[in-house]
């Protein structure tokens, strides 16, 4: 598989403890919204490799229509993350060609799309939504975005301002005690009653895209299985970018 060298252009925080890294996009680098890459960083002095080393699978957070490549991650103590946090503008990383099946079906498939995203799992969803906005999509899109607190929600303001007529955002905060003063603002966890509240009788006619930590994804899949949603309507990419160890 061919590899590409990316040069860091900018790094900025997009939530508490979450940073966006902006890289140049190589000429001819083509991907579908929702795909991911394997990324490798060079060893740095003073950082000894852990069991997973200097490589990770990461979803592309930017959309194909955007001129740069975005990757976002939560800060942590793994070798990969400690090395990444030391990157400076002008430093380089290596990525593979994009892969993955966390992509939308053709527009001819008019079933509503439901995203169940937890934490930093929002990255491929951002890519999909920004591309849909660029293409002026007429799809029914609804995002249930789960975090502990609002300040943990990466890209929150940007996603709220997505200009799509049939897009709805449901913010779900598990630890916040603040009053629900935003539209479609919920407390607790994504659960069967919450899905029924927003999807109603259409719950069995949707396509579901699940992305988050392994624990989150397993919980979301169980809810859908209990509801009777068929496997072919449940989408998860089985890459290794989100593991319990990455929460450290």
pLDDT, tens digit, 9 for 90 and up, residues 79-108: 888 888 889 999 999 999 999 999 999 988
Within a domain: 107: no
What rounded mean pLDDT belongs to the chain?
Answer: 90
Note the pLDDT of residue 18: 94
- Note whether 127 and 157 are same-domain residues: yes
User: How many C-beta neighbours within 10 Å does residue 175 have?
Assistant: 10
Residue 128, classified by CB atoms within 10 Å of its CB into exposed (0-12), middle (13-18) or buried (19+), is: buried
Position 48 scores a pLDDT of 67
Q: What pLDDT is attached to residue 43?
A: 75
Q: Residue 102's Cα: distance from chain center in Å?
A: 10
**CA 93, CA 143: separation in Å to the nearest integer?**
31
pLDDT, position 203: 96
Quick check: 72 and 85 in contact, CB under 8 A? Answer: no
- The strands making up 141-147's β-sheet, listed across from edge to edge, are 185-187, 167-173, 141-147, 113-118, 207-211, 234-235
- Tell me: pLDDT of 245 over 50: no
Cα distance between residue 102 and residue 99, in whole Å: 9
The strand ranges marked E within the chain are 3-15, 18-24, 36-40, 55-59, 68-74, 92-96, 113-118, 141-147, 167-173, 185-187, 207-211, 234-235
pLDDT at site 235:
95
Contact 207, 112 (CB under 8 A): yes
> Domain boundary residue among 62, 96, 130?
96
Tokens of 227: 């509801």
101 assigned to some structural domain? no
Q: Whole-prediction pTM value?
A: 0.91
Tell me how many degrees the CA angle 163-159-124 measures, rounded to the nearest 5. Answer: 110
Q: Report the length, in residues, of the chain.
A: 248
Mean pLDDT calculated for residue range 154-160: 94
Based on the domain organization, do 89 and 118 belong to the same domain? no
Residue 9 within any structural domain of the chain? yes
- Residue 152, token pair as written in the block: 């943990």
**CATH number, residue 204:** 3.40.50.80
Please tell me the total count of domains within the chain.
2
Query: Domain span at residue 211?
Result: 113-246
Percent of the chain with pLDDT over 70: 91
What tens digit of pLDDT does each residue of 127-148 get?
999 999 999 999 999 999 999 9
Residue 193 has pLDDT above 50, yes or no: yes
- The residue among 36, 33, 40, 34 whose CA lies nearest residue 3 is 40
The predicted pLDDT at position 179 comes to: 74
Confidence of residue 230 (pLDDT cuts 50, 70, 90): very high
CATH no. for residue 87? 2.40.30.10
- List beta partners, residue 11: 21
Shared-domain flag, residues 127 and 221 = yes
231 confidence band (pLDDT: 50, 70, 90): very high
pLDDT tens digit sequence for 22-79: 999 999 999 999 999 999 988 766 666 666 777 889 999 999 999 999 999 998 878 8
Q: What was the pLDDT predicted at 2?
A: 72
pLDDT reported for residue 36: 95
């Amino acid at each position: 598989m061919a590899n590409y060298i990316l040069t860091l252009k900018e790094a900025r925080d997009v939530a508490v403890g979450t940073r966006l890294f902006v890289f140049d996009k190589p000429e001819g680098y083509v991907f579908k919204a929702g795909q991911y890459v394997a990324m490798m960083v060079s060893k740095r002095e003073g950082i000894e490799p852990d069991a997973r080393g200097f490589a990770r699978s990461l979803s592309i957070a930017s959309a194909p229509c955007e001129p740069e490549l975005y990757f976002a991650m939560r800060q942590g103590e793994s070798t990969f993350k400690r090395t990444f946090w030391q990157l400076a503008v002008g430093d380089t990383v290596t990525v593979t060609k994009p892969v993955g099946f966390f992509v939308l079906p053709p527009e001819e498939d008019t079933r509503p799309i439901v995203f169940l995203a937890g934490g930093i799992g929002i990255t491929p969803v951002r890519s999909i939504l920004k591309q849909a906005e660029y293409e002026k999509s007429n799809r029914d899109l609804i995002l249930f975005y789960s975090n502990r607190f609002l300040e943990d929600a990466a890209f929150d303001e940007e996603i709220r301002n997505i200009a799509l007529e049939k897009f709805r955002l449901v913010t779900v905060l598990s630890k916040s005690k603040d009053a629900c003063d935003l539209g479609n603002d919920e407390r607790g966890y994504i659960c069967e009653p919450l899905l029924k509240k927003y999807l109603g009788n259409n719950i069995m006619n949707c396509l579901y895209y699940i992305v988050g930590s392994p624990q989150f994804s397993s919980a979301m899949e169980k809810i859908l299985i209990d509801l009777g949603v068929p496997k072919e309507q449940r989408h998860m990419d089985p890459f290794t970018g989100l593991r319990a160890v990455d929460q450290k």
